[in-house]
Structure 1
């Protein structure tokens, strides 16, 4: 038995250690290097690396462009997850429980699978492609959005969506929501489909209407999915680099109204050659993302719901 146990341990070690080694080299090692470079003034080209301590982080606190990016990312963190989750839950509820038939009066709508496929379609496109498409949609003269507004007689609502500092960031956030809501609609829909029908029937027999059933039965049972969705969408909101880089003037404009941390990181590293300062931005973004995940998971901690 001892020989069998040792043989099993050797097999597990042979299966796991190569993967761990690759993970350490290609994932953990770059993180460690980024933390080290954040304490230097490395230019990214020369072999000379001078240690500057926390000077890069002190500079972040007085950099107006970084502070503007921080404010923009904070607004995105408030709006993008909330809007995407709300729309995803609404669409999933309508598809799964918006029908008229069924013993519980909470049956799926006819053609629900088609709706899921249609809403999921943006996930088949990469984010840069979506950004390019929406750049044309927002075009002030030939764009689809202003064209539709003018066609229905709402010329006064036509705007230079990406050229107005008051609207540009909201236009970017709308693209992030549009590109993400289909995936989370399907995710929430799958969670709702796993709810036992007898639980819904019991709620209806107890006199609960559609709204009460949704609020007191369905939403508590998909809460874990919502929590995970918030973490992933929070990471998306704290990034936003690809959409801002492609869609906006500057990019990051006008007047820094769409500046995000990822864009400042890219600019400092590959335009200004300040890899040390850019690494400090990356470390700050990493810590913000980690804090978001920890706070969200701890805030949503609760006793599991048991269905009997």
Structure 2
């Protein structure tokens, strides 16, 4: 077997099917998108070659594109600075939940298993300015002056969407940290307690450093989820009002299929792929340091 696998021809034949599939399903569509991005094609009929005009307009004149990237960065910052620390804290509480551990785990993961269509429409109803639960609650506790058109206000809509997206993904973040905590041997906890470590120092100086491999996975998943965010945006605001909640995925869809600017939409997708590749390289460099094992 070793002699067989050391033969380069054999290795080539073994990897050829998957390489052909990768070239046909990933590389070729990207190249075709790059080509169509240099045209004024509207999805059907004839088109003209316009060179790099679309790419130039996107990079230097398309404010909506840059706003959509900024929204993705806002979501990523909120996810890493708010959602993940809370998820880590709650994963610790769930792990120490005793006989209610499974119940807590189910409750916190429930939003992640419910259909995005259902949860998004539910939150649209909650934020509705007339019959929404949030404004009704503010009325009930005597804070009517705080009532807002939550998804209709350009300054508030993006934060409402970010809250909903973080709520939907909270269960996944908690599950990742919970799995990481479960993977730490009990002996380490006992050894740290015998050495006199208190509850706070136990987690800050022992447990959290050992969670670094899982944190790396959680950050990668968070970056991916924030960049490709579309479904919740499409269902809640479709990028409105005035494109203040626009994200790249939804913007590509609206440009290519709603506005029939297929060539321009392909140009956006190519630039977005390049940006994602740059972010991937940066992340690999940042996480290249060996985090060790326990």
1:156 is aligned to 145
Distance 2:117 2:199 in 1: 40
C-alpha displacement of 1:10: 8.5
1:65 is aligned to 64
C-alpha displacement of 1:77: 2.5
Structure 1: which 5+ runs fail to align? 100-107
Contact 2:4 2:10 in 1 (8 A): no
Distance 1:132 1:14 in 2: 50
Structure 2: which 5+ runs fail to align? none
**CA deviation map 1:247-279 (0-9, x unaligned):** 11xx32223211222222112211222212111
1:234 aligns with 2:223: yes
1:82-93 to 2 correspondence within 5 Å?
Answer: 82-93=81-92
1:103 is aligned to none
1:5-20 to 2 correspondence within 5 Å?
Answer: 5=4, 16-20=15-19
1:184 is aligned to 173
Question: Secondary structure in 2 aligned to 1:306?
Answer: coil
1:43 is aligned to 42
C-alpha displacement of 1:193: 0.7
Contact 2:127 2:133 in 1 (8 A): yes
C-alpha displacement of 1:93: 1.3
Q: What is the TM-score normalised by the length of structure 2?
A: 0.89
C-alpha displacement of 1:242: 1.6
Count of aligned pairs: 293
Contact 2:117 2:235 in 1 (8 A): yes
Deviating above 4 A after TM superposition, structure 1's stretches of 4 or more consecutive aligned residues are: 6-16
1:254 aligns with 2:241: yes
1:104 is aligned to none
1:185-204 to 2 correspondence within 5 Å?
Answer: 185-204=174-193
Distance 1:297 1:217 in 2: 25
Q: What is the TM-score normalised by the length of structure 1?
A: 0.85
1:54 is aligned to 52
Aligned-residue CA RMSD (Å): 2.5
Question: Secondary structure in 1 aligned to 2:259?
Answer: coil
Distance 1:46 1:85 in 2: 48
1:162-177 to 2 correspondence within 5 Å?
Answer: 162-177=151-166
Indicate how the Cα distance of structure 1 residues 269 and 113 shifts in structure 2: closer, same or farther if over 3 A, else same.
same
